[in-house]
A and B are shown apart, each in its own frame.
Chain A
Amino acid sequence: MALMRITSPHAHGPQKTSWVMQQVLLATVPGLIVLTHFFGFGTLINVLWASILALAFEALALKLRKRPIGFYLGDYSALVTAVLLGIALPPYSPWWLITVGMASSILLAKHLYGGLGYNPFNPAMVGYVVLLISFPVQMTSWAPPRGAGELPGLMEALQACFTPGNYDGVTMATPLDVLKQNNSLLVEDLWQANPQFGRWAGVGWEWANIAFLAGGLWLLYQRIFTWHAPVAMLATLTLMAALFYDGGSSASGGSPLFHLLSGATMFGAFFIVTDPVSSAVSVRGRLIYGALIGILIYLIRVFGNYPDAVAFAVLIMNLAAPFIDQYTQPRTYGHVKSGGGD
């Protein structure tokens, strides 16, 4: 059985797709402001250029499929994908990097599967992983945060994006990357030696994560998604970090607080894991889905090849989501519990 059959009464919800997507866009604003404050205009330009491309690719795909263009562009789903990918990419990415990413997101991950609501993988994360595997150099060079280096101005940021050949930017490893490469210094010394470590996790990173947490909590308050998947993800990530934490030796994987507030943790938990299309749908399914993402994030961050793992963990669980749904179907009222699908 592929679809869940739900019996009456069927009540109308006030949530329309366009309203939901608008709320998601709004909730990314605090995070965007913090990222712009700490890393300069790079992220904003990423987001703007990605949005233009997203609308263009979406219109192209709709035109090829002879669907009403205005109607589907008005649901803001392409814009959400663009904003999420724009935030996930390193600031001051060249224009072609964003173009390849958006083409993979919108055309490959979304419209080949039939458009909004059918994509088994999160489009933004497909775009991100395609780029991370194809262009590792560009994808792992992150700008230094405010205080650790000089922030480029608006004109320089535009130059970095559209004439990348003329731009000579400064890059710096992210705290997660530094911690991963480290095998000689104690965590405390590492904190002293590198300017990009902040109070808890990393300059800019900790505040960006708190901002995304705030945006996520607001979405939760607006009932855009349920608490199950993000809470399960954050809980297992904390648990894994606590289990493997050894007090800060040179082989340490980082404290739970460090993992919660660095990289894309909060962004992933509230904006990626909660994607209603590609995640599991039942309550138990969402708990399992979120929990496994949390575990995978820790394993790949600490033991894998890639410094941040949210995109990979989400894609791996995306491919498991239909299976999880199959075995966590809620019992229909009045029916005896049956094992698995029928």
Chain B
Amino acid sequence: MLADYSILLIGAILVNNFVLVQFLGLCPFMGVSNKLETAMGMSMATTFVLTLASACSNLTYHYLLEPLGLAYLKTISFILVIAVVVQFTEMVVRKSSPLLHRVLGVYLPLITTNCAVLGVALLNINKEHSFMQSLFYGFGAAVGFSLVLVLFSAMRERLAVADVPVPFQGAAIGMITAGLMSLAFMGFAGLV
């Protein structure tokens, strides 16, 4: 039981990392990784929303779409669920903790367009995960996303002062670095 969940977690965090192995969620990965601090904020917000959204979409599918025979609507309804979760989180955080809202605030709406969130929700259905498994899988995906986002942003801060040739400055060298990171992550293949 515990072993199953830890395998699910390690698989989602390292072996099938959503950014570097499955290439989901690349937009925030490239967009919010210029500074370590913003990357930290984005990671926390994404972890929270991704875990919650994967649980909610699992419930939606099993208790709403499946009984009504509307499984073919899953993509569009998951988009709705994710948008609702993001909006809800934003409202709760703004009222309950203004400080946290200041840290996460800008990133929350951005998460709606993070394809890793929708990807996790759909993969949970494809892999026929139970509710708890969905929760763990979503959490693992979020931790994996956060891990590489934070490491990448620390690396980009260093790249910002490197003597990169002019044609490769900025996003180009970021893409190349992301590619090399993906190469490194292939070493985890076969661990679980």
Contacts and interface: CB of A to CB of B under 8 A. Distances in A.
A308 to B, nearest CB: 11
B176 interface: yes
A245 interface: no
Contacts of B152: 319
Nearest to A64: B165
Given A114-B164, A300-B191, A319-B151, A126 B180 contact: yes
Contact of B180 (A109, A299, A303, A304): A109
A316 B162 contact: no
A199 to B, nearest CB: 30
A259 B180 CA distance: 27
Nearest to A318: B184
Contacts of B69: none
A130 interface: yes
Interface in B164-192: 164-165, 168, 173, 176-177, 180-181, 183-191
Interface residues of B, number: 30
A108 B168 CA distance: 11
Contact of B161 (A3, A304, A318): A3
A112 B184 contact: no
Contacts of A309: 187
Interface in A285-342: 296, 299-300, 303-306, 309, 311-313, 315-316, 318-320, 322-323, 325-326, 341
B35 to A, nearest CB: 10
Main secondary structure of the interface of B (DSSP, over half): helix
B100 interface: no
A316 B154 contact: no
Contacts of A316: 184-185, 187-188
Nearest to A67: B163
A300 B176 CA distance: 24
Contact of B159 (A1, A108, A113, A130): A113
A2 B162 CA distance: 10
Contacts of B159: 113, 120
Contacts of B154: 322-323, 325-326
B176 A120 contact: no
B150 interface: yes
B173 A113 contact: yes
B158 interface: yes
B36 interface: yes
A288 to B, nearest CB: 13
A120 B177 contact: yes
A300 B184 contact: no
B85 to A, nearest CB: 29
Contacts of B162: 113-114, 118
A112 B163 CA distance: 9
5 contacts: A2-B157, A2-B160, A112-B176, A315-B180, A318-B184
